[in-house]
Structure 1
Amino acid sequence: MAAVRMLWMGLVLLGLLGFPQTPAQDLDPVQPNFQQDKFLGRWYSAGLASNSSWFREKKAEMSMCRTVVAPSTDGGLNLTSTFLRKKQCETKTMLLQPMAVSGHYTYHSPHWGSKHIVSVVETNYNEYALLFSRGTKGRGQDFRMATLYSRTQTVKNELKEKFINFSNAQGLTEEDIVFLPQPDMCIQE
């Protein structure tokens, strides 16, 4: 009987103090009923926003890249991006591993040695997608990045405005945002 009383006391204390935070409670919202198969295919990175000092220093040099989203063997996504760097086309692939909630993925950055949670916050699948990434970089530095993907290289002003509002809602300011120009090469078919 004492064990049952202790169990109930423990449950009452957890209720009063709040349950311990789990990673699922810290996740950003995602597109309702996210359908990964509709998200696959070619996208263009039309806008970026980040609180990273490296990003702020380099954003004037950045340009639009083409990203092909394909399913990975573990149920996640391979994002293969082709972009212009030092007047050469480069291709890199990121593996987004699936989480328990559809539309949430984890990404391990080999360059920074950090782990990020990537969320597909909003998409209509055939025109645009808003993604948000968060994690830590270096010595515990908070890292946040918003991305505007477009199915075409030309982005409507309404989508640019939507991206600015979305970025601001994530705590990113006007100086953190860039709309990427189309380079002369690398993003063509």
Structure 2
Amino acid sequence: MRTTVISVVMAMMYVMVAPAAVKPQKDFNVQKFTGKWYRVGLAYDSPGFVPLRTIMKISVGVISVLPNGNVNLTSWEAVPVGCLTQSYLYERTSIPGQFTYFSTRHNQEKDITVVETNYTEYALVVKHKEFNREYTQVALYGRSSRVRAEVIQKFKALALSQGFPRESILTPPPAENCPPGSGR
């Protein structure tokens, strides 16, 4: 009997701390989602990310839709040695607002879900992968490098619902001259 009670309590604790399932925004429109976005918030609890939290800056990305419905993301991120430019191909899935891409860094496929966006101001995005353990990132994107406090609170609430501790939820400062010539 005691073993059964312990098992039930353990299962309940797992359910209480397990990340909430994410669903893409209803009626997601990829055409409205194209253009420039600033990553103004990030929640990530990977041990390798901890030392980077204090030096992280806002990054910039441009999303364009390809003729086949896939999405190209070109991003610029400030790193200690300058401004790193990267390109990603997000492949559409049968569900609008959900994409996959192959990470050459981790040599595996990852899932991307646009959870919520109003297209003109902000987007909440969840990246998920399983690699030795389950990894999730929650990102807040804005059409400018500043978003309203209410939007930041939505982002933090989503990150907390995914099980992130408060210290893993960041809203970094802007980057200087990244991308080059941006003069932000």
The bucket for the TM-score relative to the shorter chain is 0.7 to 0.9
Alpha-carbon distance in structure 2 between the residues aligned to 1:89 and 1:172: 28
Query: Which AA in structure 2 matches 1:85?
Result: V
The answer as to 2:175 corresponding to 1:183 is yes
Partner of 1:157: 149
The answer as to 2:43 corresponding to 1:49 is yes
Partner of 2:135: 143
Rg comparison, structure with higher value: 1
The answer as to 2:164 corresponding to 1:172 is yes
Partner SS for 2:54:
helix
Question: Would the aligned equivalents of 1:56 and 1:175 in 2 still touch at CA under 8 Å?
Answer: no
Q: Could you tell me the TM-score, scaled by structure 1's length?
A: 0.81
Output aligned runs, 1:17-166, within 5 Å: 28-137=22-131, 140-166=132-158
Question: Would the aligned equivalents of 2:121 and 2:147 in 1 still touch at CA under 8 Å?
Answer: no
Q: How far is 1:130 from its partner?
A: 0.1
**Gaps in structure 2 of 5+ consecutive residues:** 1-20
Fraction of identical pairs, as percent: 30
Aligned length: 162
Alpha-carbon distance in structure 2 between the residues aligned to 1:74 and 1:173: 39
Partner SS for 1:162:
helix
CA-atom RMSD in angstroms? 1.7
1:64-90 superposed Cα distances (whole Å, 9 cap, x missing partner): 111000113431111110121124111
Partner SS for 2:95:
coil
**Gaps in structure 1 of 5+ consecutive residues:** 1-26
Question: Would the aligned equivalents of 1:64 and 1:83 in 2 still touch at CA under 8 Å?
Answer: yes
Alpha-carbon distance in structure 2 between the residues aligned to 1:173 and 1:86: 26
Partner of 2:8: none
